[in-house]
Amino acid sequence: YGEDVRDETCSDYLNLIIRQGHESVVVETMVHLLAGELAGLWDEIVLDAISEESENFRQLVGQMGRRFHQNVQLLPKGSCFFIRLPESWERLIMERPTHFRQKYKQHLNRLKRKGAVSYDLVRTPDQLEEGFRVLIHLHGKRWSEKGKEGVFQSGKFLAFHKRFAEQVLPLGYLQLCSLRLEGTPVAANYNFSYNGKVYAYQSGIDIHIDKEVSLGNLMEGY
């Protein structure tokens, strides 16, 4: 990538991009070049943020280990937490600890006492602009109160995501949604749904609605 930090649009996970079926020969060629003089002089190669599930990664580690032996190190960096979803919301909530179920219900009832609660999901291209407007407002408001900028303050960053959202919405990969109280947005999520998984990306909440209500948890529940 190489942009300024505020403009960066890069994945959480990086990888070697290789045509399927050609992994072995490409990785073998790379390791051969690194071991010889064609790659020039080098002391250290750091490949950051590659998922351990990557077949390219496994082949690279195996061949690098055989060629360079003890000089290959795998360093875990950070954790990616997830939950397996059952077939229904009722089953999911029953599998949570008792105190979680009670707290979730209390927060939901507390919010509903303030007015009508509704959930909106962007489903058509003409809803995208409003979906992003809500997300950017809530996300930016939260960070500005901390004296910082939200990630969508960069025009370059925002333009990338709007173009990306337009392309993946028809494929069913986009989850751009909001939680509203009496029609006013109080929480928003920007997630990606792909290959049986939902990836949480960005969010925003109005922390002034009620500090005793976890709008983030309610947003995820809806």
For all residues of the chain together, what is the average pLDDT? Answer: 90
pLDDT at 136 over 90: yes
pLDDT at 123 over 80: yes
Q: How high is the pLDDT of residue 86?
A: 93
Q: How high is the pLDDT of residue 1?
A: 59
DSSP assignment string, the chain = ----GGG----SSB-----TT-HHHHHHHHHHHHHSSTT---S-----SB-TT-HHHHHHHHHHHHHHGGG---------------SSHHHHHHHS-HHHHHHHHHHHHHHHTTS-EEEEE--SGGGHHHHHHHHHHHHHHHHHTTT---GGG-HHHHHHHHHHHHHHGGGT-EEEEEEEETTEEEEEEEEEEETTEEEEEEEEE-TTS-TTS-HHHHHHH-
Q: How high is the pLDDT of residue 52?
A: 78
Per DSSP bridges, beta strands 174-181 and 117-121 are antiparallel
pLDDT at 149 over 70: yes
High-pLDDT (> 90) share of the chain, %? 59
Q: How high is the pLDDT of residue 168?
A: 97
pLDDT at 55 over 70: yes
pLDDT at 11 over 70: yes
Distances (CA, A) of 126 to 88, 130, 139, 158: 30, 8, 21, 17
Lowest pLDDT segment from 37-46, 89-98, 146-155: 37-46
Lowest pLDDT segment from 5-9, 104-108, 153-157: 5-9
Q: How high is the pLDDT of residue 5?
A: 81
pLDDT at 64 over 90: no
pLDDT at 142 over 90: no
The contacts of residue 195 (CB under 8 Å, 6+ apart) are none
β partners of residue 176: 190
pLDDT at 194 over 70: yes
Rounded to an integer, what is the distance from CA 94 to the centroid of its chain?
26
Inter-residue contact 217 to 200 (CB < 8 Å): no
